[in-house]
Structure 1
Amino acid sequence: MQQFDILVIGGGVNGAGIARDLQGRGHSVLLVERGDLAQATSSASSKLIHGGLRYLEHHEYRLVREALGEREVLLRTAPHIIWPLRFVLPHRPEMRPRWMIRAGLFLYDHLARRVSLPGAESFRTAGDPRTAPLRPEITHAFGYSDAWVEDSRLVLLSAMDARARGATIRPRTSFTGARRAADHWIVTLEGGEEARVRGIVNAAGPWVQRALEAANTPPPGKVRLIRGSHVVVPRLYEGDHAFILQNDDRRVVFVIPYEGRFSLIGTTDVPHEGDPGEARCTPEEAEYLCAAVSRQFRRAVTPEEIVWTYSGVRPLFDDGAADPSAVTRDYVLKLDGAGAPLLSVYGGKITTFRRLAEEASGQIGAALGRPGTPWTGSATLPGGDLGGMTRAVFIEEMARALPHIPAEWLPRLVRTHGSLLPEVMGGDPGRHFGAGLTEREAAWMRAQEWATAPDDVLWRRTRLGLHLSPQEAQAFRDSWEGLTSRR
């Protein structure tokens, strides 16, 4: 029977972040995930590293301050998968007065130290190319900064770093039960395999209560499952900026440049029932998102234009709020110390995953008598060391270092692999399946990134499923079993 200090249940962003942090503090860690890494909520986000401007209206100042501080940390430690994004906020007088928005943006700029991003501004829309998509009756707008993240890759890179430090990462391995003693757990995994651990971190996301049931442990509180759906349509406007639109129900809807050729619209906030793994964007949600954009853009957006949808379920701690949009997005950690410790994780934002992991690691470590020292605030994720270069300059460097790689492939490859690119693509690329996806890169993802099926590559480790033709995608699937590492 294998022995570890800590079992982490869940291979989303929180579980991967916690496993990385704990392993770096000297604990031996086993992480298990019932599906692929980042298969559920963590690959279905709005893909933003942001403070959460709208959370100010709910007086969640601590959450916003922490998220804004983390924005700077993540821009510095993962610059290949996280980069600045400028937002335009059209003013609708019937929604919120301009003075209120100005005050909120001032607070947003000053709640935490801002180093790398420009501050907010207000401007007239007339003649400004950024607001060309907006209806002419919208005469004023605001601009502010946040950041974009390749969400699935944030999870993968955290897991890769945990593995490099000694953690055991087991995707597609379900946690099925546990027996508790005073100073250890005997945990049962898929297939009847057992392991002895001193403590458990339950970061199972929407399945957090199910994991507690499997461990025969009463839940420390209720969870609210809230579905957030997104739609992808052909690109709606020119420019690299995003829009944050005030909707009639006082929620906000984002319109974000996506994968070069598309626009991403999201998100909804509706209660979810049933299996979180079966979450789908409903026709009503798609209509809601399209209508929110159509009210403020010159041209209508219709559900018929949608080329892809995705949905994720947020496991929020039930704070009693009647409105799903008002339920706190802050994370809640619940430690059960009645015997060997078990720490359960509720809620959280992708932006604050590192801080959540830091706090969770400290709590479970302290329960085991060894809290360790926080260390992740200054440690780059794999591929994040660009040698002080901007991504644009690093792409130029890679063009010189890898002359056999077509120049048009390099921006996407750098956004995927960063400084690992010479190792990933340093040899013969092999077969090209389309959209810059090669046999060599796919084999790397199989060998190094736990990809076990074609869609793991097409829809999580990359989003190239949007770019390949049906024939190209099928050719890739047909070639999957024959892929071997060409390193």
Structure 2
Amino acid sequence: MTACPPPSPATGMHVETYDLLIVGGGVNGAGIARDAAGRGLSVLLVEQDDLASYTSSSSTKLIHGGLRYLEYYEFRLVREALIERERLLAMAPHIMWPLRFVLPQSLSPRPAWMVRLGLFLYDNLGGRKNLPGTETINLDRSPRGIGLKPQKGKKRGKAFVYSDGWVEDSRLVVLNAMDAAARGARIETRTQLTQAQNENDEWIATLETKAGTVRQVRARMLVNAAGPWVDKVLGRIGRSNNNRGVRLVKGSHMILPRLYDGDHAFMLQNPDRRIVFAIPYEGEFTLIGTTDEPWTDEPGKAEISQGEVDYLCATVNRYFEKEITPSDIVWSYAGIRPLYDDHAADASAVTRDYVLDFEKPEKTRAPLLSIFGGKITTYRKLAEHAMEHIAEVFPTAGKAWTAGEPLPGGNLPGQDFDRFVADLSSRWPDMPSKLLRRLARAYGTEAIQILGAASVPADLGEDFGAGLHAAEIEYLFAAEWARTAEDILYRRSKLGLHVPPGTETEIDAYLSTLSRCVASL
């Protein structure tokens, strides 16, 4: 076992002039960094905390078109998202996979004909190729009705079943950052843009690390992908009079002991017409969410409110036989969504579409691109649209290339996950199948780097719990910018739900040792 792994991509080189300075290490910033680096531009991405620290790790973790957005006539957005859905599922089949959703009708505030019409559009609007279409089932006869509470006339009634996809959201961000780094981008986490100004048609930006190190860099163009902080960044660079706006909406989720058997999810319709999902999670749990509440405080870490807990618990108890109380919640998380402010009165109705605000270069103004809104499913397309503006500044940049290009670890033979797991089992026959499957899910073909020459689990070093070995921690430190136990247990994985108490302290101590090793090199 290597005591001191090599430096991460964030610490390996020192370049002070870039084509692009990207502010924000969420899915949009990482996606633009990947696309731009692949087109030959020099890129520096800075993130004030860890990659995907906020919004991009706090989603409902769906790759979906957004069925409910059809009610708001967001046909372009839904079509784009549906096209991207199958594209993304093919780019990283280890962290994304198809999921069937059961939509019960017994408590629906919408008539069945309306829901079926919406699902017909959903099936056909995006040129669906691989995912199965909608079917109608009787929940009293189908195994997918087991666990639901009988409703009118002591029957569960009928339901529609349709397709969407699942994504490990924070891993999607990291994989984009890894690919950007592999193509020459520099990724610096825990580094904040404190100010920037124009000089000779370039940006002079001041950066400060968490450790207090301050330096300046030059960039020909600045991309503001700071999510909930997009307005704050505009203020730091003297562009606070921007005529675009961001509207902050909090979405909260809770994790419960498994409510039902099966690998399907439920889309639950509430009397107020809002939607709540129930989704299988980490094998032993069910994910319930999301809410939509206006957020008027400063952006940052958010927590589920008691009102949200009551709302989600009431939804579960309306639909499922297994009654729950707030004391059943194993874990909860909340995120602030930076939506484009379209002045909708209802937070649930605010558009999930994105707006790119491009300030072209002038004699006294360096070019600036600010990203407002967006959703995780359309991040890759958003990056392509961003590159159309960026190409106005860099006309020699390469052509679009990311559609269908696998993300790190996504080059599974035949895009067949089970076959890949079987291959790992044949190469490492003395490794537990549960460990191999988890590593395959998290890292795809990159799992081979972690397993290396090991034969048995002990060869991977200390087990910190739930099969998280020292070799994996060292890989995450060296290749994925992980610097704290929280980074590892709740963003690079969700092992925080499985490890014993005290594990975070032990991992933080181990990471401190690794950091000292790198500092001494």
**Same fold by TM-score, threshold 0.5 exceeded?**
yes
Alignment match, 1:210 = 232
SS at 2:477 equivalent: helix
Return the offset for 1:365: 2.2
Alignment match, 2:443 = 417
Alignment match, 1:392 = 418
Distance, in Å, in 2 between the alignment partners of 1:170 and 1:445 is: 15
Which of 145, 148, 169 is the aligned partner of 1:134? 148
SS at 1:470 equivalent: coil
Conservation of the 8 A alpha-carbon contact between 2:27 and 2:376: yes
* Structure 2 counterpart of 1:374, one-letter code: A
The answer on 1:281 being equivalent to 2:281 is no
Which of 412, 430, 439 is the aligned partner of 2:470? 439
The answer on 1:228 being equivalent to 2:251 is yes
Distance, in Å, in 1 between the alignment partners of 2:281 and 2:349 is: 27
The answer on 1:43 being equivalent to 2:57 is yes
Distance, in Å, in 1 between the alignment partners of 2:113 and 2:397 is: 46
Distance, in Å, in 1 between the alignment partners of 2:214 and 2:424 is: 47
Two-structure CA RMSD over aligned residues (Å): 1.5
Runs of 4+ in 1 over 4 A off after TM superposition: none
- How many residues align structurally? 485
SS at 2:410 equivalent: coil
Alignment match, 2:6 = none
In 2 relative to 1, CA 211–91 (structure 1 residues): closer, same or farther, beyond 3 Å?
same
Query: Aligned ranges for residues 77-476 of structure 1 at < 5 Å?
Result: 77-92=91-106, 95-137=109-151, 138-181=156-199, 183-190=201-208, 191-217=213-239, 218-337=241-360, 338=362, 339-370=365-396, 372-427=398-453, 428-476=459-507
- TM-score between the two structures when normalised by the length of structure 1: 0.97
* Structure 2 counterpart of 1:364, one-letter code: I
* Structure 2 counterpart of 1:327, one-letter code: V
Conservation of the 8 A alpha-carbon contact between 1:321 and 1:327: yes
Distance, in Å, in 1 between the alignment partners of 2:420 and 2:183 is: 26
- In structure 1, stretches of 5+ residues that fail to align are none
Conservation of the 8 A alpha-carbon contact between 2:256 and 2:330: yes
Return the offset for 1:367: 3.0
* Structure 1 counterpart of 2:137, one-letter code: F
Distance, in Å, in 2 between the alignment partners of 1:369 and 1:184 is: 17
Percent identical among aligned pairs is 53
1:361-411 CA distances to partner (integer Å, 9 max, x unpaired)?
221221343453110002100000012141111101011122342212112
1:73-124 CA distances to partner (integer Å, 9 max, x unpaired)?
1011111100011100000365011111111111000001112211001121
* Structure 1 counterpart of 2:460, one-letter code: P
Conservation of the 8 A alpha-carbon contact between 1:92 and 1:246: no
1:133-175 CA distances to partner (integer Å, 9 max, x unpaired)?
2121231111001000010110000000000000010000000
Conservation of the 8 A alpha-carbon contact between 1:12 and 1:205: yes
Distance, in Å, in 2 between the alignment partners of 1:373 and 1:124 is: 49
Distance, in Å, in 2 between the alignment partners of 1:392 and 1:477 is: 33
Alignment match, 1:62 = 76
SS at 1:378 equivalent: coil
- TM-score between the two structures when normalised by the length of structure 2: 0.91
